[in-house]
Structure 1
Amino acid sequence: MTASLRTLPNGVRVVCDPMPGLETLALTVVAGRGAAYEDPARSGWSHLLEHMVFKGAGGRSARDIVEVIENQGGSINAATGYERTSFQVRALKGGLDLGMDVIADLVRRPTLDPADLTREKQVVAQEIAEAADAPDDYVFDLIQRASWGDHPVGRPILGSDETVEAATVEALSDWRAQLYAADRLVVSATGAVDEAELMAAAERAFGDLPAAPGAPVPTPATFVGGPQAEARKLEQAHLVFMLPACGSRHDDYFALRIFAETLGGGMSSRLFQEAREKRGLAYNIDAYADTYADHGGLGVYAGCAAGDAIETAKVCAEEVAKLAQRIDEAELARAKAQLKAHMFMAREQPLSRAEQGAGQVLLFDRLYPPSELATEVDAVTSADVARLGQRLLSGQAATAVLGAKSALKAGEVFAKTLSSKA
């Protein structure tokens, strides 16, 4: 059975992707907005709002929201990102109507009680503190700032204590109307689902949602680059390096994914073999494509002893520069196979598949069948990877280092080494 995409009269799009043989379903309602749409004064409000809707909605208490789903064997969750906010239900076959009704209440009819807001601000403050205390989390806040500067994607999704504290019930209610507007809402269901049943449920839940536009679309972020470094007494130094690349809509997107896979995507990757297997510099080291709709970067993360930070930075820069010049045909074939495997294995998980479908609709206003994705991956050539490599080397690197003082110059070493090899 093939997936279908239909649109309600008010603009809400609906993806139905049955998976024959399953006794469960996954439902996600995705608003194509998140922290990237926030101005500085509202930093963290999208995440705070996601918390708040679970405190009460549609006449249900916080406990009722969870119990009504779990009593039927299901689970409910949500996630806030820079460009989207997702509300997710996993349920047994037959649980679609209940899941849709509960999510619709969260999105459309939250209680937003002032007393709940006071308490939830304290919870989010603890979440912010926890992230700051976790070096392998906090270093990624540093690299966002170094990469994207004052743009909203350069700020933490959680916001700050000050901006979260400034939120009021009235202001959050107004933000909810902008964030969850019909023009960027996608309902996506996979697994044991029927299209007619899904369309009826979606129409009932969201068909009368006003079609008024939501929050203004932010300008695409411009890669800034530069260093961020903080000294802490830690057992490890945490290093993240970012280079300017492209967004998910760009023709070189799959070349970027292949570059990241070859550089540090697995145990056969260049970084793993050189930095860990040959030199024993790092236990954790990998590369990744950090992409948004219209901008993105290539990231490298390494956790190493402070005394090895400088050498690790050199190795990372050298391997990036080498790969930017040439990729072996065997490496290219292996990276393509790995990338296709990652995409197709994700499609075997109903919730991941539902989120993937919603993401495709938000980015391209269409669905991509697996065969088409495979064709696009297979079409990437060594020349495409080389062109992408030159783009990576074209701007100032962004670097983030967290650890002992002796490790803090690792970012500078990475940037200088890469510049000398370009």
Structure 2
Amino acid sequence: MTARLHTLSNGVRVVCDPMPGLRTIAVTVAVNGGARMENEAQSGWSHLLEHLVFKGAGDMGAREIVERVEAEGGSINAATGYERTSFDIRALKGSLPLAMQVLSDLVFRPTLAPEEIEREKDVVAQEIAEAFDTPDDHVFEMAQTRAFVGQALGRPILGSIASLAPVERETIGDWRRRLYSPDRMVVAVSGGVDEDELLPLAEAWFGHQTATPTEALPPAVFVGGEARLARKIEQANLVFQLPTIGARDERLPALRLFTEILGGGMASRLFQSAREDRGLAYAIDAYHETYDDLGLLGVYAGAGAERSVELAELCAAEILDLAERGPAPQELARAKAVLNASLWMADESPASRAGRNAGQTLVFGAPVSSEATAARIEAQSAEDLRAVGREMAATGRSASAVLGPRGAGGAGAAFRAAMLAAGG
């Protein structure tokens, strides 16, 4: 493993991950915080802030930020999640000084001009409307809300027009100091990077800011329930979710394999049974989301309204069968091969490595070698997958969302009934 972890005096952690022979670098600045830190009145502030820092930072205006990066052949991006906010630059190796300066200015020295705040509220309002108008986006938001009713994890990352309305320069500036606090931050660089160049730059651009204390987050609780929204569209969009383990749980490799076997590809159980054997859905897949203290196993499908209940019952049956009987040897072997291939392919990408190193440092305190990850995947047995599956099924709890024609409305109740019966 080439990644080496360093910690600056103010708590910023720096991961240097050289990849010999590469002429490019990937720089990720990630903070341990996002929409989950918000109360109801602050919903969407983290995402709005991520937008606002690009409107001006340091001595740069909005246009100059991207022009400086692109003038050296680079690209810049950012993302806000529930528990993480990240900023990324992909560039040629000689652009490391510029990348470090630009990212430091974004997180520590944004202009936050009042006129830009008001303008960007309008932009985010359009983004909120776009998400609502996109059924296969909005249905996930509906399911998330039912899974975590009344909690930060159950509110949209985008927030609402009402929650963004009071934001002004002072309030969003205070929020920036909390969210982008140095002790919550990781700077990860992969590719054509040299430690002797990186560490002085990290100290100069990230080592002199003061941390802002934050209170501990309350534990999340999976509540569950059914959400329905009737719309005059051709297809029903369905999401079914179950509570499961979190990102720090040592059983996570078993959950990843369970998810892959259930609905991770064209050879998966759901694809074969729902699409190939019965023609119930054009698109169907399984996924998992892991947060600090718990997670979700989910299934998404697009189906005709008249067969949505049948599809919901099939999804529940496949989950329960995999949990009860476990995977066949060839299924487990396929899933391990898929996860390992994904792991090693990502290992060849500086951007993937920088993002992974940053995320692992935030969760585990240090990067985890790919060899160690592969060994944990390979060590999983059929019984390990059964144990994770049985634990999910035993709760009897689920969250569902159905968006589409009225005739699909019973799909959520059908899935819930099947899982309740299994939970005893």
TM-score by length of 1: 0.98
1:167 aligned counterpart, secondary structure:
coil
Answer yes or no: is the 8 Å Cα contact 1:37–1:216 preserved in 2: no
> For residues 336-393 of structure 1, what are the alpha-carbon distances to aligned partners after superposition, in whole Å with 9 as ceiling and x for unaligned?
1111222222222211210100011000101111110011111211111111111111
The answer to whether 1:177 aligns with 2:177 is yes
Asked if structure 2 preserves the Cα contact closer than 8 Å seen for 1:79 and 1:86, the reply is: yes
Q: Residue 409 of structure 1 aligns with which residue?
A: 410
Cα distance in 2 for residues equivalent to 1:85 and 1:420:
39
Query: Which residues of 2 match residues 381-392 of structure 1 at below 5 A?
Result: 381-392=381-392
TM-superposition CA deviations, 1:151-181 (whole Å, max 9, x none): 1111110001100112111100000000000
Indicate if the aligned counterparts of 1:318 and 1:421 stay in contact, CA closer than 8 A.
Answer: no
Q: Which amino acid aligns with 1:71?
A: A
- Classify the secondary structure of the residue corresponding to 1:25: strand
Is 72-81 or 387-396 further displaced after alignment?
387-396
Secondary structure of 1:30's aligned partner:
strand
Cα distance in 1 for residues equivalent to 2:48 and 2:62: 15
Correspondence for 2:270: 271
Q: Which SS does the other structure have where 1:248 is aligned? A: coil
CA distance in 2, matches of 1:216, 1:356: 26
Aligned residues of 1:27 and 1:88 also touching (Cα < 8 A) = yes
Aligned AA (2:178): Q
Aligned counterparts, 1:2-401, within 5 A: 2-213=2-213, 215-326=214-325, 327-395=327-395, 396-401=397-402
* C-alpha separation in 1, matches of 2:308 and 2:348: 39
Q: Distance in 2 between matches of 1:43 and 1:298?
A: 25
Residue type at the aligned position of 1:277: E
Taking the aligned partners of 1:347 and 1:37, their CA distance within structure 2 comes to: 31
Distance 2:366 2:72 in 1: 33
The AA in structure 2 aligned to 1:362 is: L
Cα distance in 2, alignment partners of residues 406 and 351 from structure 1: 44
Q: Is the 8 A contact 1:32 1:185 kept in 2?
A: yes
What amino acid does structure 2 have at the position aligned with 1:128? I
Letter of the 1:316 counterpart: C
Q: Equivalents in 1 of 2:219, 2:377: separation in Å?
A: 25
The code of the aligned residue for 1:16 comes to C
* Secondary structure class of the residue paired with 1:343: helix
| 3-state SS of paired residue (1:95) | helix
Q: Which moved more, 1:361-370 or 1:327-336?
A: 327-336
Deviations 1:122-141 (A, max 9, x none): 00000000000000000010
Task: Give me the whole-angstrom Cα distance separating, in 1, the residues matched to 2:294 and 2:335.
Answer: 22
Checking the alignment, whether the CA contact within 8 Å between 2:135 and 2:237 is kept in structure 1 is yes
Q: Following the alignment from structure 1 to structure 2, what is the Cα–Cα distance between the partners of residues 414 and 183?
A: 43
Deviation at 1:255, TM superposition (A): 1.0
Most deviating of 373-382 and 215-224: 215-224
- Structure 2 CA distance, aligned partners of 1:399 and 1:211? 40
Larger CA deviation: 295-304 vs 409-418: 409-418
Question: How many Å separate the matches in 2 of 1:421 and 1:296?
Answer: 20
- Compute the displacement of 1:95 (Å): 0.4
Alpha-carbon contact 2:393-2:422 (below 8 Å) kept: no
Alpha-carbon distance, 1:394 to partner: 2.2
Alpha-carbon distance between aligned partners in 2 of 1:173 and 1:157, rounded to the nearest angstrom: 19
The alignment partner of 2:94 has SS state of: coil
Q: Is the 2:270–2:318 Cα contact (8 Å) retained in structure 1?
A: yes
The amino acid that maps onto 1:133 is D
Distance 1:370 1:252 in 2: 17
Deviations 1:292-337 (A, max 9, x none): 1211011000011111211111110110110011221221121111
- Distance in 2, matches of 1:12 and 1:210, equals 10
CA-atom RMSD, angstroms? 1.1
User: Residues 37 and 217 of structure 1 are in contact (CA less than 8 Å); yes or no, is this contact kept in structure 2?
Assistant: no
SS in 2 for 1:54: helix
Q: Distance in 2 between matches of 1:343 and 1:34?
A: 26
CA–CA distance in structure 1, aligned partners of residues 142 and 413 of structure 2? 15
Give the Cα–Cα distance (whole angstroms) in 2 for the partners of residues 227 and 264 of structure 1. Answer: 22
What is the rounded CA distance, in whole Å, between the counterparts of 1:192 and 1:269 in structure 2?
38
Deviations 1:91-147 (A, max 9, x none): 112100001101111111111011011100000000000000000000010111111
The total of aligned residue pairs comes to 421
Whichever residue aligns with residue 400 of structure 2, its letter is T
TM-score if structure 2 supplies the norm length? 0.97
CA separation in 2, counterparts of 1:234 and 1:342? 35
The runs of 5 or more residues in structure 1 that have no matched partner are none
Letter in 1 for 2:43: S
Deviation of the 1:421 alpha carbon: 4.4
